[in-house]
């Protein structure tokens, strides 16, 4: 018997997080559209003379991208700066502002795209982890059938003790790790091990919590508590990974505290040496860790897919 747990009501934090995720995605999509329209207006006259007058309006889509995406992103980065959080994305904010001041709107919009795209991908990775965790929670039974003399009583899963004799009915999820005492069946352990094959179970065989029983009932002895079972440990790891920021992201932020001042100093030196402020922008754009902002979320998504 596997009752489906009720879905908790969304909290204010959940709603705010959902809106933030949608905003980052919208900014990334808007930036892509703005860049495409800008390039069409700017270079359309090379293929069709009728497009030549439109070049005067080529920067308007980029202005819209700055208003819609650049301002919110820079505001968030300023809040981080006031909290003394020198992350890997601070250089992106400096690049966006510098590009605006120097009227290099295309470069600034590209940085907006990279920054918002990285955030959108990371949010997608978090949502994927949450959906996997929810699916795991739904598969776990809330009761176990414990032997009491000649009958089996339904008890809460947290009341199962080591050594209890339990009955696993056909097509039921095994509640705890244990050893088969009686019965012959097969179990689907693909959700736990990734193996696509059904595993044969006979007296003396080990069964894993979370495995789905086949056509025949099995009598098992509980070898572990529910909280110490394989399934519970998997869910614990999933919860921890969901609550903590990715290790690479934290490492990137730690390095950003050192890397950012060095990059700014090099940019200022290039500006002073050349007398051209655009050199400062060039250093900032090159130093912005756009590949890191994109690569980390992609790596997370790939890891979740493989898991």
Is pLDDT of 14 > 60? no
For domain 161-224, give its CATH number from 2.70.150.10, 3.40.50.620, 3.40.50.1260, 3.40.50.2300.
Answer: 2.70.150.10
Its pTM stands at 0.64
pLDDT of residue 6: 41
Strands of the 218-222 sheet, one edge to the other: 151-156, 143-148, 165-168, 218-222, 178-182, 206-207
**pLDDT, average across residues 12-18:** 52
CB 167 within 8 A of CB 150: no
Lowest-confidence segment of 3-7, 17-21, 122-126, 270-274 by average pLDDT: 3-7
pLDDT of residue 276: 92
Is pLDDT of 47 > 70? no
**Mean pLDDT of all residues belonging to the chain:** 80
Percent of the chain with pLDDT strictly greater than 90: 36
Is pLDDT of 10 > 60? no
pLDDT of residue 295: 62
By CB atoms closer than 10 A (0-12, 13-18, 19+), residue 88 is: buried
CB 267 within 8 A of CB 284: yes
Sign, Cα dihedral of 33, 35, 38, 43: negative
**pLDDT, average across residues 29-33:** 94
**pLDDT, average across residues 167-181:** 92
| 174 or 139: which leads in pLDDT | 174
Which residues, listed in sequence order, are joined to residue 145 by a DSSP beta bridge?
A: 154, 167
For residue range 198-237, list pLDDT tens digits in order: 899 999 999 988 889 999 999 999 999 988 888 888 777 7
By CB atoms closer than 10 A (0-12, 13-18, 19+), residue 150 is: exposed
The domain spans of the chain are: 12-136+238-306, 161-224
| 167 or 91: which leads in pLDDT | 167
Stated as kind and residue range, the H or E segment containing 123 is helix 105-139
Question: Predicted confidence band at 132 (pLDDT cuts at 50, 70, 90)?
Answer: low
Half-sphere exposure of residue 64: CA atoms within 13 angstroms, side-chain side: 17
| 137 or 110: which leads in pLDDT | 110
Question: Predicted confidence band at 7 (pLDDT cuts at 50, 70, 90)?
Answer: very low
Is pLDDT of 193 > 80? no
CA 47 remoteness from chain centre: 42
pLDDT of residue 4: 38
DSSP characters over 247-285: HHHHHHHHHHHHHHHHHHHHHHHHHHHHS-HHHHHHHHH
Six token digits for residue 216: 């025949």
| 136 or 231: which leads in pLDDT | 231
Question: Predicted confidence band at 2 (pLDDT cuts at 50, 70, 90)?
Answer: very low
pLDDT of residue 307: 53
pLDDT of residue 219: 94
**pLDDT, average across residues 4-14:** 45
Say what angle helices 90-101 and 105-139 make with each other, to 10 degrees.
Answer: 150
Question: Predicted confidence band at 254 (pLDDT cuts at 50, 70, 90)?
Answer: low
Question: Predicted confidence band at 81 (pLDDT cuts at 50, 70, 90)?
Answer: confident
For residue range 89-122, list pLDDT tens digits in order: 788 888 999 999 999 999 999 999 988 887 787 7
CB 93 within 8 A of CB 260: no
pLDDT of residue 12: 45
């Amino acid at each position: 018997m596997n009752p489906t747990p009720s879905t908790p009501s969304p909290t204010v934090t959940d709603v705010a997080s959902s809106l933030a995720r949608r905003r980052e995605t919208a900014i990334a999509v808007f930036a892509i559209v703005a860049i495409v329209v800008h390039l069409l207006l700017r270079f359309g006259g090379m293929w069709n003379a009728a497009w030549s007058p439109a070049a005067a309006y080529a920067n308007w889509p980029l202005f819209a991208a700055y208003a819609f995406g650049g301002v919110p992103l820079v505001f968030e980065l300023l809040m981080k700066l006031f909290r003394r959080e020198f992350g890997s994305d601070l250089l992106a904010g400096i690049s966006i502002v510098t590009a605006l001041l120097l009227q290099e709107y295309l470069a600034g919009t590209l940085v907006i795209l990279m920054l918002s795209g990285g955030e959108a991908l990371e949010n997608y990775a978090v949502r994927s982890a949450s959906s996997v965790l929810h699916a795991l929670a739904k598969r776990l039974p809330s009761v176990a059938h414990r032997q009491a003399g000649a009958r089996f009583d339904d008890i809460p899963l947290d009341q199962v003790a080591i050594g209890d004799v339990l009955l696993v009915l056909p097509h039921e999820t095994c509640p705890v790790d244990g050893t088969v005492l009686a019965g012959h069946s097969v179990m689907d352990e693909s959700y736990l091990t990734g193996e696509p094959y059904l595993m044969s179970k006979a007296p003396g065989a080990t069964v894993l919590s979370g495995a789905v029983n086949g056509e025949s009932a099995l009598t098992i002895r509980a070898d572990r508590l529910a909280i110490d079972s394989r399934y519970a440990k998997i869910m614990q790891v999933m919860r921890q990974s969901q609550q903590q920021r990715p290790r690479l992201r934290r490492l990137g932020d730690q390095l950003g505290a050192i890397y950012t001042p060095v990059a700014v100093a090099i940019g200022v030196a290039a500006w002073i040496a050349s007398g051209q402020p655009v050199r400062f922008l060039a250093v900032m754009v090159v130093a912005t860790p756009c590949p890191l902002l994109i690569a980390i979320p992609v790596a997370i998504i790939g890891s979740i897919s493989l898991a």
